Amino acid sequence: MKKSLLITIGALLLFASCQNLSQKGVLVNNIDELNKSIKEASPGDEIILANGTWKDVQIKFYGIGTKEQPISLRAETPGEVFIEGQSYLHLGGENLLVSGLYFRNGYTPSSGIIRYKIGEDSVANHSTVTNCVIDGFTQPSRLTSDRWVEFYGRHNQMDHCYIAGKSNDGNTLMVYHTGNENTNNHHQIVYNYFGPRPRKGGPRGETVRMGNPQMTPGYVNVSNNFFDACNGEVEIVSDKADYNTFRNNIFYKCEGSLVLRHANYGTVDGNIFIGGDDSPFYGGIRIVNTGHWITNNYFYKIRGEEFRSPIALMNGIPNSILNRYKQVTDAVIAYNTWVDCKSPWQLGVGQNRASAGVLPASEIRSLPPIRTTLANNLIYNTKEDASPIAKHDEIDGILFKNNILDNNGSVYSDYGVLRNEHVAMKRVNEWLYAPLESQNLFLDDTFAGYDFKRIEKDLFGDSRAEKSRVGAINNLTTAEGFVIDKKKYGPDWYSTDKVPTVPNMLSATSAAGELAKTIASAKSGDIIDLSDEVYLLDAPLKIDKEITLRRKGENKAQLIYKGAANTPAFEMNPKGIIKLDNISIKGEKNQLAFAPLAENMSSAYYLFLNNCDIDGFDYVLRASKGSFADSITVSNSNIQNCNNGIVLAADEKGDYNAEMVTFENCKFTNIGQNVINFYRGGYDESTIGGYLRVLDSSFEKCGSSEKSGQLLKTRGIINVDISGNTFRNNQVKLIALLWGEKNNHHSENVVTNSGIIKVEQQLKLDILY
């Protein structure tokens, strides 16, 4: 009896074990086992990657599953399978499912980290990647191009993934339309979290791009995604294919726009754009081409202009080639709401007839929008906006109907297309305003345009069938119940919340090597107090994290650099952030004060100086090819007796070496040449284009070696402000040559024996496309 019971229990355990094995699938521990399992897989099979780090694995996942029994490739535990090194995952076949993988600490050696295609001809169809993370899996060089996610085939999906940190050239996610097998593709890009993409300093930095300008049908659905600080370039989303849909996405503080670039018949419905007062580059929706419907969208504090406007209706080019600008026709912009946006309607954007002398005819955008309707929209301002409409060209091709403006009590009557009303609004949360139900009866007066019945719901899903009000929000009660739940986006195992950190307060004496060791052992964000007055540095200080060096009291700490020729006192590495306060840096005429690595600057660096002295170097800062400083801010500082100043001029063809550069209340004395040389080559409109501010500073006895005869060189930089400065006894013919057509300005400068500031309205540059 006892023996029989043991046999029975053993059989049950064996059966349970087999069942468990069947449920768990095949566990693989290395690339050889993985390749074997992929080769042998059949419908319904599940391949499980063992927890741990998988380094330098190039996975080609090919199989033929079925809708009912897909072939799966998943992590043993979601988020605990780390794909690192030179790795990728390429899919080919039918009905494949991938989940739970975490790409980090590496880069793809080939096109695409995740690619719905193997080789040249094996595309994937009906396949899904879900619950995965790609974080900082960027190329060593910013100039090396790749795309992180490449869609091919048809009916593929990416959902609940987190993708962030791409700093090199190329789109983050690309939907290809090359070949009939890749058109009419009906891909689903849903519930993903597109995390921060840093400023790139050049073109080709889109987060999502659909198609090349073939204008082929896509029917791609991009819905319910969260875009967080996607700042790679002016086009966050670049739609270059037809019949795509963008619905219920949230764009949070993104320095760019959703752009219907070469697309036709796009649907942009129910999206939320949240900006703020902290950047003039937050964008909305830009419209090019034919047949788009822009409905039920909500915009808060979107302050961008022209290409980054809250809503930008572009001008077109006569007989435009595919990759330029076709005229806007037959577009509908209806039932949208703008709150505290700057000039929310910008019409005829890109009109550039005045540039005909420096641009070819194929670049002149002279065709304003036609057969286009703006109706039932609401503009609400808590502070007066002097120009709710920015008119760049004629607007007689646009039909305006039942558009309401509350400009904080100020009547706006330009162009006669907005109806001034007092709108009773409730502030639901920090960014959301909704009209009260019991008042605002004028909001019920809406225009029923052609085919408006297709606009069935409002921003939050309430029906417009029985009652439809002006603006994006039909029902206050529903708006009051709406919250942004970030947990809906991206993997359920990955948190997008930033964990606050408290910096450690450290100190370093002038003992040999102590400062370098303290920096090396510090955590990012730490603050190091310099307790002594004089520090001798015999090698560069490596900055690869956020570090603050400061000296308390009135006397500056002196850093005297004694390193080798052509080396910097501060070596800026990717993600390096240096903050100097009350520091003096002295060097020799064959050294540099600051410089990025000569190569492999995969990410941006940052430089902040306050109350500092820089004296005696060959270069204050010299950029290397491919390097990029997101921000350089120098305030209340003296820069003197250097052969060269700040040189940000190592790149060409639209790429440039810094974005936000500010000098305020600084004193430049006896700088031989290149006092400030900030350069962007080529005619390109897809970026911020550099931002230089020189304010309340003085320049004296500079430029004695300057062969160009120009003190401040800013060729190609889009945004320049030179104001409140004093120029005295500088041996140059020109202080600056500014680009009048762009955002270049000067004011209230005092000039003595230093040449002139000249404005050239049109600047001829090389066309890059």
Q: Would you list the DSSP string of 320-336?
A: --TTS-PPPBS-EEES-
pLDDT level of residue 767 (50, 70, 90 thresholds): low
**CB contact set of 173 (below 8 Å; sequence gap of 6+):** 147, 148, 149, 150, 151, 158, 163, 189, 194, 207, 208, 209
CA 642 to chain centre: 36
Question: Which of 467, 473, 461 lies closest to 425 in space, CA to CA?
Answer: 473
Kindly list the distances between the CA atom of residue 638 and the CA atoms of 136, 375, 610, 698, 700, in Å, as whole numbers in the listed order.
37, 56, 10, 10, 11
Per the CB < 8 A criterion, the answer to whether 347 and 313 are in contact is yes
Strands 577-581 and 546-550: parallel
- Please, what's the b/e burial string for 668-703 (b: 16 or more CB within 10 A of its CB; e: otherwise)? bbebbbbbbbbbbbbbbebbbbbbbbbbebbbbbbb
Per the CB < 8 A criterion, the answer to whether 702 and 675 are in contact is yes
Domain limit, last residue, from 488, 512, 530: 488
Domain limit, last residue, from 488, 515, 543: 488
Tell me the DSSP string of 456-489: -B-TTS-B-SS---SSS-S-HHHHHT----GGGS
Question: Which of 257, 265, 304, 246 lies closest to 285 in space, CA to CA?
Answer: 257
How many domains are there within the chain? Answer: 2
Which CATH number does the domain housing residue 321 bear? 2.160.20.10
Domain limit, last residue, from 488, 521, 550: 488
Q: Is residue 540 part of a domain?
A: no
pLDDT of 9 strictly over 70: no
pLDDT of 202 strictly over 50: yes
Q: Is residue 153 part of a domain?
A: yes
Give the per-residue pLDDT at 568. Answer: 98
* Bridge partners of residue 117, in order along the sequence: 123
Please provide residue 355's backbone torsions phi and psi, each rounded to the nearest 5 degrees.
Answer: -90, 10
Give the per-residue pLDDT at 17. Answer: 39
Q: Is residue 193 part of a domain?
A: yes
Average confidence score pLDDT of the chain: 94
Question: Which of 727, 703, 716 lies closest to 767 in space, CA to CA?
Answer: 716
pLDDT level of residue 6 (50, 70, 90 thresholds): very low
**pLDDT single digits (tens) 606-635:** 999 999 999 999 999 999 999 999 999 999
- Residue for token digits 């004093």? 726
Cα 206-211-214 angle, rounded to 5 deg = 130
Q: Is residue 665 part of a domain?
A: yes
Question: Which of 250, 198, 205, 246 lies closest to 227 in space, CA to CA?
Answer: 250
SS3 (DSSP) at 502: coil
pLDDT of 3 strictly over 70: no
Question: Which of 96, 54, 44 lies closest to 75 in space, CA to CA?
Answer: 54
Question: Which of 687, 602, 655, 605 lies closest to 136 in space, CA to CA?
Answer: 602
pLDDT of 146 strictly over 70: yes
Strands 128-130 and 133-135: unpaired
Q: Is residue 47 part of a domain?
A: no
pLDDT (average), residues 233-245:
96
Q: Is residue 128 part of a domain?
A: no
Proportion of the chain above pLDDT 90, given as a percent:
87
Per the CB < 8 A criterion, the answer to whether 411 and 420 are in contact is yes
Give the per-residue pLDDT at 459. Answer: 98
Q: Is residue 207 part of a domain?
A: yes
pLDDT (average), residues 723-733:
97
- Residue for token digits 């270059």? 240
Give the per-residue pLDDT at 293. Answer: 98
Quote the domain boundaries for residue 749. 649-769
Give the per-residue pLDDT at 654. Answer: 81
pLDDT of 496 strictly over 70: yes
Tell me the DSSP string of 67-127: SSS-EEEEESSTT-EEEEEE-EEEEEEESEEEESEEEEEEE-SSS-SEESEETTTEEEES-
Q: Is residue 574 part of a domain?
A: no
Strands 719-723 and 101-107: unpaired
Kindly list the distances between the CA atom of residue 285 and the CA atoms of 213, 250, 277, in Å, as whole numbers in the listed order.
19, 13, 19
pLDDT level of residue 769 (50, 70, 90 thresholds): low
